[in-house]
Amino acid sequence: MPVNARQRPRFWTKRTAWIFAACWLLAIVSGGISPVAAQQTPLKLSIRREWEGARSCAPVSLRVFAGWSDPRLLEGRIRVEGFLEQQTMGVWTGPETALAGSEQHFWFMLPSPMLRYTGERYILKTEFLSPQQSFPVEELDIEAWEYNRRDFVVAAVVSQPGAIPMGIGSNQDRVAYEQPLTLQQRLAPEDASALFVHNTRIKYTDLPSDSLRYLGLDALIIAHDTLNLLKPDQRAAVQKWVLAGGNLLLLQTGPLQRDAELLVRSLSRNDYTLIRRRDPRWPAGMQVFAPGLGRFFHTVNALSGESEGWKVVAWDLLRLHGSSRRSLNAGGRMLMPWEELRSSSVQPQNGNQPWSDPRSPRSSTQPLRPLSRINVDELTPQMMPQEIRGMPFGLAAGVLAACVLCIGPADFLLLGLIRRRRWTWVMFPLITLGFTAWMAQLAAEHNGQNDTRSWVSIVDITPENEVLRTTRIELNYGSSSRHVVHDVHSQWWTDLRQDDLGWAQAQQYGFYNQYEPRSYPDLGPRLTYEGAVPANYKVLEPVRQWSPRLQRITTLGADPALEKYPLPRADWGGLEKPTQGDLLQAVTALEKDFPDASWWLDRRKDFQATAWTSPRKSEAPSPGGGREAAILTLIQNLTSYPEPSPGVFALITELAPTASPECEDLCLTSQPSLIVVQEVEPGRFLATRVIYPPRERN
């Protein structure tokens, strides 16, 4: 039958249908097209911060939500990777989860990098990893702290959204209590942009139950009614955080339940920790205790948000320096120590540029920048192992002797018995290759177990020998390239790289900091976190062969890795005002058990003056003089700052725990302490710091 010229050729034939189906199936298998992705995906991922506001230097605590509206079962894991300028800053992978028409959320923490200039973005790339199907990667911006600004975060615990804490009200403005905490309004105009205080509120049900998740806070305000509603693990977390350096204000205008009363008694159990105030404006019924490193404010009377008494308490809650509070009391504006430098005509020293001299006007325009007392490039050689142990010579000699015996007598006699000596041409290469592979395997196994870990640990304890906080700066010198998996419980691990730190340089007028990007930054892999961070998770440490890496490990409490090393224990003179003679007697008794320990007093003038015979080891270490002297100098730099205090310590006395690479939170400027340092193993230094409460203040 002839084809009609007007009839169009048939396009949809069986052949084209099969070709189309094959292409569609191939696209599904290769991940290019998904049946779910082709439509609107029923998976929704979102992330929000735990605390409103990014605290300077502190890690960020996040909450990720995964919602799956499809009734079909979906299994997989959530992966979040933080990027700053296309550089990975941290990776978290959640636990295995199953969704079926439901929603789940997970808490986790990531290092929060500093934004070095305006407009820089910290991006979180979030994806759901499932063997069933693929989902697109979502990019989410997250707030991060800026290098040129110091951010504080103060949280108030409330019973419901929109409420304020009971016991601190106002007839005019419900949130009047936040005004004294907003310090940026009380700075000079040229300094106001360098400081910001975030006032936030959190419902009591959302309060963390892990103490490390409070690293994003400087202070916490809570009333008796919400304290009664907290769960036991929430109260325990708050207590551990306060002992490690946090600041807590309790407004008790009503009765406390038994568990809440136990928390109050625990934080105020020792009379010698009571800090007496001589300020006439100090509110009646308000007491301040220094239980360890933190501050516990307790009042039984209601406060007014506009009262002068609340202003004094609010400034003390932020740990304002004495000079800062006095200037506020006198003129209503904080006079910072660097303000007099702006009108100074001092010329730079040693030919330095104007911004490299701490007395110059330009250096004083951003005075609250982070201060790092660690120079990674100088510290790394001091912590490197003194020697590298190779495979034992006896083992290598034994393998070589066995190889010779197999090639010689064994091969000759065995093949002679079966009259097949011509097989030597086959056996000899096989024996040689076999022993070579065995030697290589033994060497690899030996090197894989021969990592060298050296560390410097600072353990803060009370005069009753209670461990408050442990900081371990660890260097791992790997003998092979691989990932080392650590099972971590209630600790925070973070990389310690010079790229992430500003430069802390010593000049004639003290320490200061200025960030300078490196010409060749370290682009190596960072720590990876898997699981429920920070309660129970795994840390994947990327180790490169013969390449040192530094990290800081923070524990609010005792570090399990240091349990086998006994801490110096003595009668440290747990009195309201211990004398220097009491401490000298305690340390003299310790020298019998720790003859090689070095020790010194920090803020010695705060102890009662007595007849003081200073032994040689009580003198503060001096720079230079070998490895031990360098480590002692590092410990002294981490635990104290020169006077007059630079940076943020010209404004406040101490920082609540941050667990950051800058290590600013280790510095004490108002609390005297006794430091005992011992080398417990070659390359491992343990510094025990006995913390005493500060003297009474105005």
Residue with tokens 């490390």: 212
The span from the CA of 246 to the CA of 224, in Å, is: 19
Q: What is the mean pLDDT of each run of 10 residues along the chain (698 residues)?
A: 45 65 63 42 87 90 92 93 87 93 92 79 91 85 82 94 85 78 78 85 94 96 95 96 96 93 91 79 90 94 88 91 69 62 44 35 56 79 76 78 77 74 77 82 66 92 92 90 92 88 44 49 85 94 89 96 87 60 71 80 56 40 65 87 71 92 88 87 92 69
- What are the domain boundaries of the chain? 43-138, 150-335, 393-448, 452-691
The token duo for 673 is 């302490």
Residue with tokens 């800026």: 146
Residue among 311, 371, 422, 375 nearest 518 (CA): 375
Q: What is the CA radius of gyration of the chain?
A: 31
Q: Determine how β-strand 150-158 pairs with β-strand 295-299.
A: unpaired
Q: In whole angstroms, how far apart are CA 697 and each of 457, 607, 646, 656?
A: 31, 15, 21, 19
Residue with tokens 């290759």: 433
Contact 569/458 with Cβ under 8 angstroms?
no
294 burial class (0-12, 13-18, 19+ CB within 10 angstroms)?
A: buried
Contact 95/108 with Cβ under 8 angstroms?
no
Q: Which residues contact 424 (CB under 8 A, 6 or more apart)?
A: 411, 415
Helix (H) / strand (E) element for 483: namely: strand 482-489
List b or e across 535-563, with b for residues whose CB sees 16 or more CB atoms inside 10 angstroms: bebebbbbbeeeebbbbbbbbbbbbebbe
Q: Which residues contact 514 (CB under 8 A, 6 or more apart)?
A: 355, 356, 363, 369, 502, 503, 505
DSSP string, 510-576: EEEEE----SS-------EEEEETTTEEEEEEEE-TT-EEEEEEEESS--GGGTTSPPP------SS
Q: What is the largest CA-CA distance in the chain?
A: 126
Contact 509/341 with Cβ under 8 angstroms?
no
Residue among 320, 155, 304 nearest 238 (CA): 155
Residues 347, 348, 350, 351: is their CA dihedral positive or negative? negative
Residue among 448, 444, 447, 415 nearest 431 (CA): 415
Q: What is the pTM of this model?
A: 0.84
Contact 277/148 with Cβ under 8 angstroms?
no
Tell me how crowded residue 600 is: count the other CB atoms within 10 A of its CB.
Answer: 21
Q: Determine how β-strand 510-514 pairs with β-strand 452-461.
A: unpaired
Residue among 329, 314, 328 nearest 168 (CA): 314
Q: Determine how β-strand 87-93 pairs with β-strand 528-532.
A: parallel
The span from the CA of 596 to the CA of 195, in Å, is: 45
> Please, which residues bridge with residue 238 across strands?
none
DSSP string, 59-91: PEEEEEEEEE-SSS-EEEEEEEEEEETTEEEEE
First CA to last CA across the chain, in angstroms? 113
Q: Determine how β-strand 74-84 pairs with β-strand 97-99.
A: antiparallel
> Please, which residues bridge with residue 529 across strands?
92, 539
The span from the CA of 34 to the CA of 22, in Å, is: 15
Q: Which residues contact 301 (CB under 8 A, 6 or more apart)?
A: 253, 283, 284, 285, 286
Q: At CA 516, angle to CA 514 and CA 520, rounded to 5?
A: 155
The token duo for 15 is 């052949």
The span from the CA of 73 to the CA of 78, in Å, is: 16
Q: Determine how β-strand 482-489 pairs with β-strand 536-543.
A: antiparallel
Q: At CA 63, angle to CA 57 and CA 65, rounded to 5?
A: 150
pLDDT at 580: 64
Q: Which residues contact 605 (CB under 8 A, 6 or more apart)?
A: none
- Give the CATH superfamily of 43-138: Immunoglobulins (2.60.40.10)
Helix (H, G, I), strand (E, B) or coil at 264: helix
The token duo for 100 is 């079926």
The span from the CA of 482 to the CA of 479, in Å, is: 9
Residue among 308, 49, 335 nearest 179 (CA): 308
CATH of domain 150-335: 3.40.50
Helix (H, G, I), strand (E, B) or coil at 123: strand
